[in-house]
Structure 1
Amino acid sequence: MADIKTFYLPDLGEGLPDATVVEWHVKEGDSIKLDAPLCSMETAKAVVDVPSPYTGKVTKLYGAPGDIIETGAALADFVPDPNAKQRAESQETGHHHGPKKSVGSPAPDDSQKVVASDEGGEVKTGGKDREDEGTVVGAMVSGSHVHVEQAASIGGVKAVPAVRALAKKLKVDLARVRPSGADGVVTLQDVKNAAANGSAPLPSPAGRGAGGEGAAGAQRYASPEPSSAHRAPSPEGRREEQRTAVSLAGKPVRTAPPSVQASGQPEQLKGVRRNMARVMAEAHANVVPTTLVDDADLHAWIGKQDITARLVRAIVAACKAVPALNAWFDGKNLSRTLHPHVDIGIAVDTDDGLFVPALRNADMLDGHGVRAAIKRLRTQVEDRSIPSSELSGYTISLSNFGMFAGRYATPVVVPPTVAIIGAGKLSHDVVAVMGGIEVHRRMPISLTFDHRAATGGEAARFLKALLDDMAQPH
């Protein structure tokens, strides 16, 4: 019997619990060399190429594009080439072999060993029929579950977030791309091919009609609408019924009762949004948030200035004045770590979810350095090339939501940080001054802090230091 080796999904980030299959670079039956790309996996932070742990033949792939696989679950089976040099278990590569086992725990019963099946369920096999061994990078969670889920269907197109991000970057219209993946899923290669041959370009703004529908919309209105009796069924197998504001009897349409199935389809959260849901839930459960709000008066500013750079400078000044908020707090051990440096987590909103890259050593940067660093981080976030190390380890956070809308907010403090600053939308306000009134340009500032780690007085002094720096002429 062939010597089958099972490769388990390694920890592709800092304790990430799962990852989504984006694309397989091989198929079952293919031969592969050691460290050659096996597949691309989307984590909460990036799209990562997973290298092959063996030189040999791939006998089984667990999961299809769009499937979520838990860290530590089976990813692929191999029959290593006995004539090829393989990586020795004792070789210093930073890898650990085999699924994680608890120290001092009894040996598992091989007859009850659970192995993930390619259908996403569990099949029990005897331990003598296969040897479970793989290359696991870093710490991992023990488990053997493969969750088979379809890629998200948005606008009738099935694709994982990484594919949608690539299509946006390459200006490819996903609706016009011919899918080659299982169950009609658009793959990364489909998007790359469409970009190369120009078969699915996004419509230009000039070609769009009223409402942004463009040529497709014009063609739709030029063709008669088929009757409901001849209308083709939707991909979900349901007839698309024409929606109107009144019923056939001419009465206003009422909301369907709870017993009627909703027309929308549930969408499994993946990648960045999946991680965001976990992080927000953890923060809500573990932080005692308190928010202070005030307005930064910018009336004394001279000339044109970089608002974001000024915000960063003001945060640095406040951190130096009140170090208690530039800290990490350990709620379990009731300990805190005050940081001598200032690394600011900058919240970046994307279609795939929220990223928070770290602006490192903000206390050492001038205005030009801040602007260049933020531009680099934003570009890396948009093309999903940012290293996972740049998405953690910040000492305090900034959410500049005012660039879209909103004055005050209660932004979420994510452990282990202690505070987050929210910058609202600039406004011109009537301000009372000695002898009358004036119109000043002001920026609403919200400071949310973990009250377990800092007092109200410390937070108020921090906010005052920030406002004082923002009020400086330059």
Structure 2
Amino acid sequence: MGTHVIKMPDIGEGIAQVELVEWFVKVGDMIAEDQVVADVMTDKATVEIPSPVSGKVLALGGQPGEVMAVGSELIRIEVEGSGNHVDVPTKDVPKREQVEAPDAPVAAKPEPQKEARPAAYQTPVNHEAAPIVPRQPGDKPLASPAVRKRALDAGIELRYVHGSGPAGRILHEDLDAFMSKPHSAGGQAPSGYAKRTDSEQVPVIGLRRKIAQRMQDAKRRVAHFSYVEEIDVTALEALRQQLNSKHGDSRGKLTLLPFLVRALVVALRDFPQINATYDDEAQVITRHGAVHVGIATQGDNGLMVPVLRHAEAGSLWSNAGEISRLANAARNNKASRDELSGSTITLTSLGALGGIVSTPVVNTPEVAIVGVNRMVERPVVIDGQIVVRKMMNLSSSFDHRVVDGMDAALFIQAVRGLLEQPACLFVE
């Protein structure tokens, strides 16, 4: 038997360090060739690290949240043959390489896998056959923030839930299986009104750390101001529904987002100072001809901003299709570095949860972000008559170092005029 060492790869773009986000294996696991063993994160994207060999995990080279240098030892695997590394006695192995991931739950040792994907992509285990054995107090269940919130809302203690994901990670399917069957008193989920004394510490690592750093940096460096305007989207919504009725089956369904993108593209022709980025260290403002729209997208792990490139050259349907593709890639953590960088203005929407007003944070180095609030029907006075109209607010923020208040107001009024008279979106 030999030892194969996987080192932190050079991911490119001159990056010297990356953050270790998550392990999908633990010491003692049998893994298959091409199985993903870890996720690491650069400043722009999360990257999966697959194993080039099959074998048994001997040691892990770091813990989630640790920043590791390119070329440092990531994982050791026992393999058939000589491997790529000369074995050394255990006592000579650096201490951190012998420490298991701290939060690894107690789980049965899996058999070697033949698939080229981690366990999360394979057929889930039979939950009916899995006994409800609570984890020990020190064994923290692995689960995404969305799964944790769902369990909290349902009054379920995750330590009673069997996880079928990588390293025993609890998935939404595991919660469904747990809630679909009765449990004994020892495994019964407590009432949502039961007194609770538990607490949880969540390390700020991976995407959440990047979001925190970017938001803090943006609020510290940018002179934010926000501007809110209400828009009558009755005609726009009627046009959208008509187009979907006529072309939805052949071209795809349209949401409001491609119309909003089109309005931004047309309005920015007269406001080039808003389709800009600001290098505050070099004191240079770059005004862009191309409109690369960042589409703020919420996933289980946090907020990502994939970029719709050259929105000025796309039709409603081509932009709609690309927005959908990018959003799915971001939510599934499959967006590339190029797809997550290079935006010149950002569009953010919470859909039906959009509220009445919001104050979005500028996505630096951009100088503007346009926020879309919830669409509602309400009474409006038109020509002295009270009528019911579909109304929606735009809550937008700007960098006051670059964008004057008057210019911001005029820009949003231009967007408003285009959306309230949607035929103008297509007049050249």
TM-score, with normalisation over the residues of structure 2? 0.67
Answer yes or no: is 1:46 the counterpart of 2:51. Answer: no
Q: Which residue of 2 aligns with 1:295?
A: 230
1:426/1:14 Cα in 2 relative to 1: closer, same or farther (>3 Å)? farther
Higher helix proportion: 2
2:176 equivalent among 192, 203, 208: 203
One-letter identity of the residue aligned with 2:24 = E
Answer yes or no: is 1:389 the counterpart of 2:386. Answer: no
1:60/1:10 Cα in 2 relative to 1: closer, same or farther (>3 Å)? farther
CA displacement at 1:222 relative to structure 2 = 11
Q: Which residue of 2 aligns with 1:407?
A: 356
Cα contact 1:419–1:449 (8 A) shared by 2: yes
One-letter identity of the residue aligned with 1:215 = K
Cα contact 1:38–1:51 (8 A) shared by 2: yes
1:353/1:434 Cα in 2 relative to 1: closer, same or farther (>3 Å)? same
One-letter identity of the residue aligned with 1:415 = T
Cα deviation digits, residues 270-299 of structure 1 (max 9, x gap): 322221111111111111111111112223
Q: Which residue of 2 aligns with 1:273?
A: 208
Residues of 2 paired with 1:291 and 1:25: CA distance? 48
One-letter identity of the residue aligned with 1:410 = T
Answer yes or no: is 1:283 the counterpart of 2:223. Answer: no
Q: Which residue of 1 aligns with 2:23?
A: 22
1:300/1:201 Cα in 2 relative to 1: closer, same or farther (>3 Å)? closer
Cα deviation digits, residues 404-452 of structure 1 (max 9, x gap): 1311111001211111000111123433333434332221011201111
Answer yes or no: is 1:71 the counterpart of 2:23. Answer: no
Runs of 5+ in structure 2 lacking a partner? Answer: 85-93, 106-134, 152-156, 242-254, 424-428
TM-score, with normalisation over the residues of structure 1? 0.61
1:4/1:344 Cα in 2 relative to 1: closer, same or farther (>3 Å)? closer
Cα contact 2:292–2:308 (8 A) shared by 1: yes
Cα contact 1:11–1:72 (8 A) shared by 2: no
Cα contact 1:37–1:51 (8 A) shared by 2: yes
Q: Which residue of 2 aligns with 1:372?
A: 321
1:448/1:157 Cα in 2 relative to 1: closer, same or farther (>3 Å)? same
Q: Which residue of 2 aligns with 1:150?
A: 103
Query: Percent identity between the aligned chains?
Result: 24
Residues of 1 paired with 2:336 and 2:95: CA distance? 30
Cα deviation digits, residues 308-330 of structure 1 (max 9, x gap): 22111111112222111111100
Q: How does 1:43-442 map to 2 (within 5 A)?
A: 43=41, 45-49=45-49, 61-63=60-62, 67-72=64-69, 74-76=72-74, 117-118=96-97, 150=103, 158-159=141-142, 161=144, 188=166, 203=176, 213-216=179-182, 220=185, 243=195, 263-301=198-236, 302-305=238-241, 306-442=255-391
Root-mean-square deviation (CA, aligned residues, Å) is 4.7
Residues of 2 paired with 1:394 and 1:332: CA distance? 19
Residues of 1 paired with 2:257 and 2:36: CA distance? 42
1:51/1:461 Cα in 2 relative to 1: closer, same or farther (>3 Å)? farther
Cα contact 2:345–2:369 (8 A) shared by 1: yes
1:330/1:403 Cα in 2 relative to 1: closer, same or farther (>3 Å)? same
Larger radius of gyration: 1
